[in-house]
Amino acid sequence: MAEENNQIEENNQAAATEGQPNPEGIQFTVQKLYAKDVSFEVPNSPTIFTEQGQTDIKLNLGQRVEEMENDLFEVTLTITVTATVGEKTAYLAEVVQAGIFQISGFNEQSHHAAVNTLCPTTLFPYARTMISGLVSDGGFPPLVLQPINFDALYAQRMQQAQAEATANATPEGEA
């Protein structure tokens, strides 16, 4: 048993060694990470700084995938944070964090999952840091965005799509 565990560990180390070919041909690499667009607005300044009341924070996420060439994909993660106090907008912060990823060797389902989970998981920490800096530099209390489980979001979207497909496939009058 000890020999078997040592062999597994050696195989894992060999597979993790940089420059080693992947026997399955599966490849997921980050080629480039960059901020594609950054925006911060305080539409009701300076009076918003004297407003009393609880700040309401709304977070919107968006993602876009563009196939480039040779298994290269640009994935953009858009995070928009809108803070309001009462009826007034305190601030609006938006970051479009992008990356170029090389993704190859996956079957269609695994490729779709990788683009929708691994890529945004890689991009999110960079966008979160940028949002936090914008809000603080804008004169507001620090905003710490909680981690997002993109695997769970993806699974939820796939379940919804499957439920909609099943509902649309059921002929009218049958239930």
DSSP string, 89-125: EEEEEEEEEEEEEEEES--HHHHHHIIIIIHHHHHHH
What is the strand order of the sheet 72-85 is part of?
27-41, 88-104, 72-85, 55-67
Domains of the chain (ranges plus CATH)?
23-167 (3.10.420.10)
Question: What is the per-residue pLDDT for 25?
Answer: 80
Q: Is residue 11 over pLDDT 80? A: no
Tokens representing residue 33 in the block: 């990470």
Look at residue 162 in the predicted model and tell me its pLDDT.
Answer: 87
pLDDT (tens digit per residue) in 111-153: 999 999 999 999 999 999 999 999 999 999 989 999 999 999 9
pLDDT confidence bin for 24, thresholds 50/70/90? low
What's the burial of 12, exposed, middle or buried (CB within 10 Å: 0-12/13-18/19+)? exposed
Give the count of beta carbons closer than 10 Å to the beta carbon of residue 77. 24
**pLDDT band at residue 170 under the 50/70/90 scheme:** low
